Amino acid sequence: MERPEAANGRGRKAKQKERVLHPPPRVLALPPIVKSPANEVKLAAVAVDLNVRLRSADMPAVMQERAFRCTGALLDARHGNGRPNHTEIAMFLKKEFDAIYGPAWHCIVGKSFGSFVTHSSGGFVYFSVNKLSFLLFKTEVRPVAKSPLLLKYNENK
């Protein structure tokens, strides 16, 4: 017994999945990750000098070094005032990286916190200095199209 063909004349081929082409993902303009022995040795020397323990990183060594040095400078500046203000340190690191490497950096500072974040490739570092932990990461920024409701609201003003 034969199967009747579909009304569109395609028969069994109509059941095959059609391939959907997606545009390639956008690449952020971050420095390339170059893993040369000289960069790794220099970064390790800076980390030892500043008492930094690197936990995890997906970031070029130059950017990691900047994060370590900024953090060390902030902790040294706040050392005379007793306990460092975690919010101020996080704000300064975020603004520093926003100014140098573009917007959408996020920073979390504290002694105990959990996280589960999505970051842009080449824009993540997690480290600690003494008992204080630092999580610095970048996310992708997409322009938001103006909604018709917002345009209508602006016209009524």
Residue spans of the domains in the chain: they are: 37-138
Q: Which residues, at least 6 apart from 14, have a Cβ–Cβ distance to it below 8 Å?
A: 6, 8
Residue 49: per-residue pLDDT: 82
Dihedral pair phi/psi, residue 135, rounded to 5°: -125, 120
The answer to whether residues 52 and 90 touch, using CB atoms and an 8 Å cutoff, is no
- What is the rounded CA–CA span in Å between residue 51 and residue 46? 8
pLDDT tops 60 at residue 25 = no
Residue 45: per-residue pLDDT: 85
In this predicted model, which residue has the larger pLDDT, 123 or 35? 123
CA neighbor of 134 nearest in space, from 66, 34, 42, 49:
66
In this predicted model, which residue has the larger pLDDT, 68 or 3? 68
SS3 14: helix
Out of 13-22, 35-44, 147-156, least confident range = 13-22
Q: Which two tokens stand for residue 32?
A: 């390339």
Distance of CA 116 to the CA centre of its chain: 12
Which class is domain 37-138? alpha beta
Q: Which two tokens stand for residue 35?
A: 């893993």
pLDDT tier for residue 9 given thresholds of 50, 70 and 90: low
Angle between helices 61-78 and 86-101 (to 10 degrees): 150
Average pLDDT score over residue span 72-80: 81
pLDDT tops 90 at residue 153 = no
Angle between helices 37-49 and 61-78 (to 10 degrees): 10
pLDDT tier for residue 27 given thresholds of 50, 70 and 90: very low
Reported as a single tens digit per residue, the pLDDT across 28-74 is 455 555 566 777 888 888 888 888 999 999 999 999 999 999 999 99
Residue 68: per-residue pLDDT: 94
Strands (E), the chain: 52-58, 105-110, 124-129, 132-138
